[in-house]
Amino acid sequence: MKNKLASSAVLILQLALVCLVAALGGSASIVLGDDKPAAPHFAGQWTFNANQSDNANDKINEAEQNSRLARNSGGTNPNGGGYPSGGGGGYPGGGGYPGGGVGMGGMGGMGRGGMGRGGMGRSPAAQNGGLNGEDMETMSTDPKTFAITQDGQQLSITDDAGRARTLYGDGKKHKEDDSGGQKTTVKSHWDGDRLVAESKLGHSGKLTETYEVSPDGKQLFYTSKLDNSSIGILSIRRVYDNAAAQPQQQAQPPAQQQSPAQQQPPAQQQPQQ
């Protein structure tokens, strides 16, 4: 009798162990079966917060000044003042960028670059330290609002000027129109809770844009970083507030005027004795 009870207990334990392993295996398969974790909630209306954002024009001017100082000092170019062939601080042949300054460029350094010679005229990039006018406007413009709709990993973004774009977050290349109406390639992917979009900004270099929502969902952080061969890394951070999270101010009702019947008659003066 005791042997039968012991055998039954062992059998029950074995069955329980099998069920436990099956349960753990099933839960593990469920976790592994998830393609991607849920994306953070970006949908909503976002309003530009100028007080907490970088001043785009100041950041651009600072980058240009640092670039000019580096070129004039020749510290970043072994050939002398010009880049890459000398020429009095010009790029690439002296004087300006990329074809030199107005008129003939200056004499280059005496290194391997030889005598730099600037071209005639002045390119738009020369006026903006390596950024042409179109790209300069793109980097300096602060969208006042973002309207974002979200479908899983995909974001559709429209700003106050009516410019619309879709970021897919799948790590694949997609075509979209840039600010000048030209087709450009954008590749976006998720980096944790951040959506990162990579593209080329005109002829000015690689543009990396990052969208991230604060943990409390009240703010959106939008960072645009340009890697430009002339001015280096230009990074501008903009902050947007969730319009739904802002307190609504209640309008005060206008003061009501009393009707003639409600107005008190003036006090009558007593006749003097």
Distance CA 145, CA 70 (A): 37
Copy the structure tokens of residue 229: 């061969």
Each residue of 131-162: pLDDT tens digit? 778 888 889 999 999 999 999 999 999 999 99
Q: Which residue, among 119, 118, 117, 108, has the nearest Cα to 79 in the 3D structure?
A: 108
- Kindly give the interhelix angle for 56-73 and 133-140, rounded to the nearest 10 degrees: 130
**pTM exceeds cut of 0.75:** no
Could you tell me which residues come within 8 angstroms of residue 175 by beta carbon, excluding any fewer than 6 positions away? 183, 184, 185, 186
Each residue of 203-239: pLDDT tens digit? 789 999 999 999 999 999 999 999 988 888 999 999 9
Instruction: Enumerate domains of the chain plus CATH numbers.
Output: 44-53+142-242 (2.40.128.20), 61-129 (no CATH)
Residue 61 clears pLDDT 50, i.e. is over it: yes
